[in-house]
Amino acid sequence: MRALIQRVREAKVSVEGRVTGEIGPGLLILVCAMQGDGEAEAAALAARIARLRIFKDAAGKMNLALAEAGGATLVVSQFTLAADTSRGNRPGFSTAAPPDEGRRLYEQFSDELRKLGFPVANGEFGADMQVALVNDGPVTIWMDTADRVVKG
């Protein structure tokens, strides 16, 4: 699975003018299931993100994880993270998981974060969404479970 994680002061996602998810300080997580991903990747990615020490401590250093910072998560499905731009000017998305599998893994990823004790707000899978955020730092981190063995 792939994720683009942004430390935010606030974020919200809307569909057709209706807010479907909104958080204050925490993480906006754009997530994409790739072909071949399964439950293990969803669980490992959630656990890894939960342990990321990207929040400032009292000294101003990035030393705190999400739980220590008291943050929430806004999880938004984003199949375009599977973009293949190696040929031509139009990205291809054939490496993304099929929609039904992508939805299942997206929902499992969100559930894994909930199991870890985090408040989770969501976008609407497959919808045309508008995402608004105030990036804090800015801090933006890219993660892909295929890049290395991600241990839960």
**Residue-wise pLDDT tens digits, 38-85:** 999 999 999 999 999 999 999 999 999 999 999 999 999 999 999 999
| R_g (Cα) of the chain, nearest Å | 15
Question: Residue 148: what pLDDT?
Answer: 61
> Which residues are within 8 A (CB) of 41 and not within 5 positions of it... i.e. 6 or more apart?
1, 33, 105, 145, 150
Judge whether 85 counts as a catalytic residue. no
Catalytic residue among 6, 73, 78, 108: 78
> Which residues are within 8 A (CB) of 15 and not within 5 positions of it... i.e. 6 or more apart?
123, 124, 127, 128, 129, 130
Backbone angles phi, psi at 16, to 5 degrees: 50, 45
CATH of domain 2-144: 3.50.80.10
Segment 78-105 shows an average pLDDT of 95
Catalytic residue among 6, 73, 79, 145: 79
What is the C-alpha separation between 122 and 125, in angstroms, rounded?
A: 9
Segment 121-148 shows an average pLDDT of 94
Catalytic residue among 35, 80, 93, 130: 80
Check: CB of residue 21 under 8 Å from CB of residue 13: yes
List the one residue out of 133, 141, 137 whose CA is nearest residue 72. 133
